[in-house]
Structure 1
Amino acid sequence: MDLKKLAGQAGQFLTRAVQYTEEKIGSAEKTELDRHFESLSLQADAARQWTEKLVIGAEAVLIPNPGNRVEDMIFEKIEKRRPNRLSNLEYLGLDMVQAGNDFGSGTPYGSALLKVGGAEQRLGLLEREFVSNAIQGYLQPMRKFLDTEMKTITRERRLLETKRLDLDACKSRLRKARSMDGQSSHKDAVDPKVLVAQLQAEQELLEAEAELRKAQADFDRQTEITKLLLEGVRSSQAAHLRHLNELVEAQAQYYEQCHKVMTDVQKEMASVPFNPSAVGAFDNSVPVFQINDEEIDLKSPSSP
């Protein structure tokens, strides 16, 4: 471990903390960035906030189950893929098909269950395909924007803030060094102690000026780097528009296919025999019990 380097980093951290505290209480000056830079920063913040909201909203629509969303996130982190699970529509369709087979495909109800169950399974498959297409075409690119570009901008803006604190701390040190040099220059230089103090003040002034030049150069360079990244956020909206179009195309195709499936199953259901009078007769049937070979109508007034 390099103790000198560690001590230097601790000293820089302490200097920045002091500068930050003095700025908050109003006893130190702060270098302000230009209006164009501040405008770019506000635009970047808005882009990040709205993209995060849009991603969260799209995830809730595509994967309504929060548990499934967590499971998908874990699988994507570990295995780089989402689990291939059946949709609720497919489970419903599977139950309908099994029930239809149990009731018998030759019965009207069993036949209808088989037809509707098959349609529900096709809808579920279409839903899974739509979710997969929407995730690949919209969610993943938007997440990538947040995880790469926006994280890089956040990191560079934090670095710019540290460079700004270093610059303002150097400015404060230079002002103090000039004040000390001005005070020592008015004293009698014949006294050795005064002469030593003057030399020390001059040396501190030279060091403070050199540190300020370096801090100013570092700050200017970091400002340009951060500004270029911020300007790139605006151009990323063209890519976001393309991803949004892909989401719309996936939704339009999905709903069109679903409409066709339901239209077809409606036509198939029209061929299933259905006798409302038979159902009504069954609903209005009178319960009859047989006791000692004698049938008793429970609704008959003469029944005991």
Structure 2
Amino acid sequence: MDFNVKKLVRDAGTALSRVVQLTEEKLGTSEKTELDAHFENLAERSDVTKTWTEKILRNTEAVLTPNPGNRVEDFLFEKIEKKRPNRLSNLEYLGLDMIEAGNEFGPGTAYGIALIKVGQCEQRLGQTEREFIGSAGHCYVQPLRKFLEGEMKIILKERSLLESKRLDLDACKNRLRKARSMQGQQSKDGVSPEILLEEAEKEVRVAQSEFDRQAEITKLLLEGISSSHASHLRCLHEFVETQVRFYAQCHNAMQDLQRDMASLSLATTGAAPYQTLSLQSPDSVDVTKNGHQRARVLYDYDAKDATELSLMADEVTQPHPLGFLYSWELKSTWTNERGLFLSWFGTNESATPPVKLDECITHKFALPFLVECTQRCGYYLQVIIVRELSEADGAEDYLIGERGNQKGKVPKAFLELLTY
């Protein structure tokens, strides 16, 4: 118990001595032991490294997880369960809603199938984003955090200990100066000034030894910052490579979506003509060999039941099979940016074989030229064939519409019969 009390008193005396020494240094009444310039440069670089690493880490986490609530949740889960919660990204939530909406509107409609396609792409982007966040956290965020929580904390601890040793050394030096100034004077305590001087010199030697030892340890740790920078550089390279892969995957996904949307646009709406088609009297309407008439849809129409056919504005009838080019005499060639050579040869109905459209659409750069050709030859991709309802159908305001294999009643008010 005596030992503990003595140690407590000694520690309290040491702490008080350090406070007095620090106060005197601030007031300019006491000298301060200065470290060499090399050590000061190392210490300054350590401070700069700590400051900017903290900022980079904080901003990187904000980029990877923008929601601050999610960042707090991730931090708590890592401390408690040693792993982050598995949550969907915002893009995946958007994709799920788009797919659900597309199924609700009907995958057979242009808008519905487009929503489904975009939703699937958004889910793919969201999954890619989650993989990127995980990879970036593993290769960059975790090493930076480990550096701050490990190596940097040790450096700060050793520097704090070095500062304490310096204060002890300077306090001993002050006592030594006072002891020397008392040489030749009578001591009030009855202790010889020579004895006081000898004790002060001994304290200075011990304090100097401890200070030098701690300074060497701290210096070695500070010099290790260079190796930490090299390690962070490797992590930065890995982070950049991860970003490159992420954005490349996103670019590929969007290119695939762009091609899908372009093909959907051609397959559902067709190429719009340059000139406006006029409506003529029913007597002049062209009728195909099987009695079917061409018609253009004026407005969108949603089928009310299974007997009706949903329509989309600007759909146009075409008695020829979908996917072939007929009845034009223009011969055109075009080369895309990647050297893909495409050609279309116009034929008439008796010529064989016709050119298949799906064999022509082999690259996204071909689409503008294909649209131009279809506009010039009056060809439309979407096929809606209409015929009059029989009396048994009992609906004078409706026609029977056919789109490929789909068939159903359509209102006459939504159609414009064509004459070409």
Q: TM-score range by the shorter chain?
A: 0.7 to 0.9
Which of 110, 113, 116 lines up with 2:112 in the alignment?
110
Worse-superposed segment, 9-18 or 205-214: 205-214
Asked whether 1:268 is paired with 2:260, we answer yes
Asked whether 1:135 is paired with 2:130, we answer no
Alpha-carbon deviations, 1:97-135, whole Å to 9, x = none?
A: 111111111111111111111110000000000000000
Shift in Å, 1:39? 0.8
**Percent identity of equivalent pairs:** 61
- Which structure carries more strand by proportion? 2
Cα distance in 1 between the residues matched to 2:256 and 2:32:
71
Which of 201, 209, 219 lines up with 2:211 in the alignment?
219
**8 Å contact 2:159–2:218 — kept in the other structure?**
yes
**8 Å contact 2:21–2:170 — kept in the other structure?**
yes
Aligned counterparts, 1:37-48, within 5 A: 37-48=39-50
Which residue identity does 1:182 align to in structure 2? G
Cα distance in 2 between the residues matched to 1:41 and 1:279:
78
Q: CA RMSD in A?
A: 2.0
Shift in Å, 1:276? 8.8
* 2:238 corresponds to: 246
Which residue identity does 2:67 align to in structure 1? N
5+ residue gaps, structure 1: 185-192, 286-304
Cα distance in 1 between the residues matched to 2:42 and 2:81:
37
* 1:255 corresponds to: 247
Cα distance in 2 between the residues matched to 1:114 and 1:53:
41
* 1:177 corresponds to: 179
Which residue identity does 1:3 align to in structure 2? V
Which of 92, 95, 118 lines up with 2:94 in the alignment?
92
Shift in Å, 1:181? 2.9
Shift in Å, 1:230? 0.6
TM-score under structure 1 normalisation? 0.85
Shift in Å, 1:78? 1.3
Considering Cα pairs closer than 8 Å and 6+ residues apart, tell me whether 1 or 2 has the greater RCO.
1
Cα distance in 2 between the residues matched to 1:105 and 1:73:
42
Alpha-carbon deviations, 1:227-258, whole Å to 9, x = none?
A: 00111102211101100011101100001111
Aligned length: 274
Cα distance in 2 between the residues matched to 1:14 and 1:265:
73
Aligned counterparts, 1:144-183, within 5 A: 144-183=146-185
Which residue identity does 1:202 align to in structure 2? E
Which residue identity does 2:229 align to in structure 1? Q
* 1:23 corresponds to: 25
Which residue identity does 2:233 align to in structure 1? L
5+ residue gaps, structure 2: 273-295, 302-312, 314-420
* 2:69 corresponds to: 67
Which residue identity does 2:257 align to in structure 1? V
Shift in Å, 1:279? 8.6
* 1:187 corresponds to: none
Which of 10, 16, 26 lines up with 1:8 in the alignment?
10
- Which structure carries more helix by proportion? 1
Alpha-carbon deviations, 1:255-304, whole Å to 9, x = none?
A: 11111111111121223213697897459x9xxxxxxxxxxxxxxxxxxx
Q: 1:73 to 1:276 in 2, by over 3 A?
A: farther
Instruction: Report the 3-state secondary structure (helix = DSSP H, G, I; strand = E; otherwise coil) of the residue aligned with 1:235.
Output: helix
Q: 1:10 to 1:279 in 2, by over 3 A?
A: farther
Alpha-carbon deviations, 1:66-88, whole Å to 9, x = none?
A: 11111111111111111111000
Flag the structure with larger Rg: 2
Which residue identity does 1:213 align to in structure 2? R
Instruction: Report the 3-state secondary structure (helix = DSSP H, G, I; strand = E; otherwise coil) of the residue aligned with 1:84.
Output: coil
TM-score under structure 2 normalisation? 0.62
Cα distance in 2 between the residues matched to 1:279 and 1:128:
44
Which residue identity does 1:274 align to in structure 2? T
Which residue identity does 2:269 align to in structure 1? F
Segments of 4+ in structure 1 off by > 4 A?
Answer: 275-283
* 1:299 corresponds to: none
Alpha-carbon deviations, 1:122-178, whole Å to 9, x = none?
A: 000000000000000000001111111111111111100000000000001111112
Cα distance in 1 between the residues matched to 2:297 and 2:196:
103
Cα distance in 1 between the residues matched to 2:92 and 2:99:
10
Shift in Å, 1:203? 2.2
Which residue identity does 1:39 align to in structure 2? N
Cα distance in 2 between the residues matched to 1:275 and 1:69:
48
Cα distance in 2 between the residues matched to 1:214 and 1:178:
18
